[in-house]
Structure 1
């Protein structure tokens, strides 16, 4: 029954995306089918084979070791501070972003990451028929944040029409930054966070390719990684990576303060009119039908839907903090589905981040992003649902 519901959910997602499509005649159904098959095979391999489980464990162990190294740095600076519970989250989770951002910056300066991303993106482009720029951006978005991923293709922005701009923006919103993955791994089960990374890449491309299909001439489809880093030495790369990581940590902390406080305010207003009711419960009831199709048991679907809805209207960290409180009471399937759904940047605040980044690259194209901002959020949310549904089929 769960498998039938999952298949129905995938069909429904494709149907919604098809209705939203800008150009139904040019949808690359072959490429979409290949990417969906890649998602199914990846999830099956990771969860149903011994080698796949060994790979997940090895990657998880590597991240845990990096977290240990990062914790040493954090403890040296703030280890003597007696913290409240909220302070522990900032020191033990958010400040680790600084170390992960430093590593990414160094790997970028050494051209290790850009080279891997270029050739993996090229392979995806060759297999699926998608343009190289969009494929490169999708892989790049696994490692870098929304702004950094878009900045990496800024030299190609003059070639991007509205549909191509939609696809690269959807990939940026539908994925997460590797610098933040370390924080996620301390809040959610590692196996679901790690499998969400490749699944979200494919999901974003699948849904965006239906909503905004493209055909690109070869002369307008070129990826250049020569200028991916402006650092002049490895030490400058470390310093700039650390500064960028610190900025991200502070931004996330500021957003958490604003969103959690605002959520409490909204709930207080709602309870003045409807005693005992919260925004999370309202969102839970709204998203219940989708949750059931994703494979969440009916006894847990309202609570799980509330957490997913919280992520959409605030951000993934707020939702993860709520999820941590109830995760131990939920079934493994619900934990898997919700964890994968939460592992993306698909929320309202991302629209502003992406529009602001594009504004800095090409002011004329920023208006186009603002114009399809809501459509972008819907598409990225559908992508998160697709990834979570695929995982639900194998748990």
Structure 2
């Protein structure tokens, strides 16, 4: 951490807040106390998560949050190992990660998708037992008291740290119909600024494979590294999504749950075994959706790039681009050229700004799974070798903020609260913007503290 890096990061935070301010629908009503408290909370989370070990050397109790965080990260890695045991029984050596005895190489379908299924099973059990509700409520109370946000939006945003963008609103099901527009945007933003626990486990597996091979790390070390960063990104994104959404759409009404935080979750299983079975079924559906989506989107990107490269060839544009960027005309290069300046503004090292911009473009236009897949390839091919850039990209991509998520949220929330359908549709693009700015802010803080 050097002074130039810190100054560039501070500039990045100012740029992000300025963008949010420019898109605000009511600049005079912005609650700057809420914004300041949210920013301070995010910075405190970032310091304890990223620099907790150093703080522990100054005063031992300051290192306790980091120790807890390491324990949770180790738990994620343990889950991955248990998943491998189950997947090996079904798929044999195809499920074993590279470097393991008997491994046949890396196979996405057999080594990544099973983690989604097992994690969904585990979350189903934890929710049935009421454990996750307690954790979510504690976090929601902290944010509600410190930031002055309503109980409903605080609960939903806190739940998003662990579950997806359509599952988290179920925790506030009785209140969805009466939410203000500001609360609704906050809930949508919370969903877009974070990822579900199941796919988080999948990203840990993906990134640790390529990073471990490229950097010469043991797979377990790489898994611990990315478990820590991805979990940290989701936690830091909670206050970030609250403060960004409240800049873009300030509260002007009186929320129904102001000052109260009450979890409301209906049990769908009669016992723990049924909860595990339902979780496995949900996880399988999600894994199949991810597999189908990746197959379709990556093929579509290849098709688009084929035509773009053809156009670049007949127009002579490819020759110019090859001289400047060493790449022909393609979708990733277009995203990179357009967004590299934003990457530079938030503190991404200049040699990685083009690739970083490309990843952000892929995430917003397509989705974060495709972007993480691209990141693993960049690491594997050693086209992105700067560690700071890799970590910042890991944080920046950690969210569901993309155009398809608008349809997912409308489809997931409107059946529970039909009166909110029009509002959900009108707030969709604002939610994508707010979610993207939230993850970029977490990436900026990670870059400052790297």
TM-score between the two structures when normalised by the length of structure 2: 0.83
Which of residues 333, 346, 352 is equivalent to 1:294?
346
CA separation of 1:387 and 1:226: change in aligned 2, threshold 3 A: closer
Whether the 8 Å contact between 2:150 and 2:257 is mirrored in structure 1 is: no
- The residue correspondences of 1:1-395 to structure 2 (distance < 5 A) are 1-50=4-53, 51=63, 54-79=67-92, 88-188=107-207, 189-214=226-251, 217=254, 219-221=256-258, 222-275=260-313, 276-327=328-379, 328=382, 329-395=384-450
CA separation of 1:243 and 1:326: change in aligned 2, threshold 3 A: same
RMSD: 2.1
Query: For residues 274 and 115 of structure 1, what CA distance do their matches in structure 2 show?
Result: 56
TM-fit CA distance, 1:337: 0.8
Query: For residues 106 and 282 of structure 2, what CA distance do their matches in structure 1 show?
Result: 21
CA separation of 1:340 and 1:219: change in aligned 2, threshold 3 A: closer
Whether the 8 Å contact between 2:388 and 2:447 is mirrored in structure 1 is: yes
SS at match of 2:36: helix
TM-fit CA distance, 1:224: 4.0
SS at match of 2:237: helix
Query: For residues 145 and 110 of structure 1, what CA distance do their matches in structure 2 show?
Result: 19
Query: For residues 258 and 85 of structure 1, what CA distance do their matches in structure 2 show?
Result: 26
Whether the 8 Å contact between 2:170 and 2:265 is mirrored in structure 1 is: no
TM-fit CA distance, 1:220: 4.0
TM-fit CA distance, 1:347: 1.2
TM-fit CA distance, 1:274: 1.1
**Alignment-derived partner of residue 59 in structure 2:** none
Whether the 8 Å contact between 1:131 and 1:216 is mirrored in structure 2 is: no
- Give the greater-gyration-radius structure (CA): 2
Question: Which consecutive unaligned segments of at least 5 residues does structure 1 have?
Answer: none
Question: Which consecutive unaligned segments of at least 5 residues does structure 2 have?
Answer: 54-62, 97-102, 208-225, 314-327
TM-score between the two structures when normalised by the length of structure 1: 0.94
TM-fit CA distance, 1:140: 0.4
CA separation of 1:229 and 1:28: change in aligned 2, threshold 3 A: farther
CA separation of 1:224 and 1:279: change in aligned 2, threshold 3 A: same
Whether the 8 Å contact between 2:401 and 2:432 is mirrored in structure 1 is: yes
SS at match of 2:160: helix
CA separation of 1:218 and 1:272: change in aligned 2, threshold 3 A: closer
Query: For residues 212 and 336 of structure 1, what CA distance do their matches in structure 2 show?
Result: 30
CA separation of 1:164 and 1:176: change in aligned 2, threshold 3 A: same
Question: Residues 186-213 of structure 1: CA distance to partner in whole angstroms, max 9, x if unpaired?
Answer: 1233332122011111211110011112
CA separation of 1:213 and 1:272: change in aligned 2, threshold 3 A: same
Whether the 8 Å contact between 2:305 and 2:330 is mirrored in structure 1 is: yes
CA separation of 1:305 and 1:71: change in aligned 2, threshold 3 A: same
Whether the 8 Å contact between 1:153 and 1:223 is mirrored in structure 2 is: no
Query: For residues 388 and 97 of structure 1, what CA distance do their matches in structure 2 show?
Result: 24
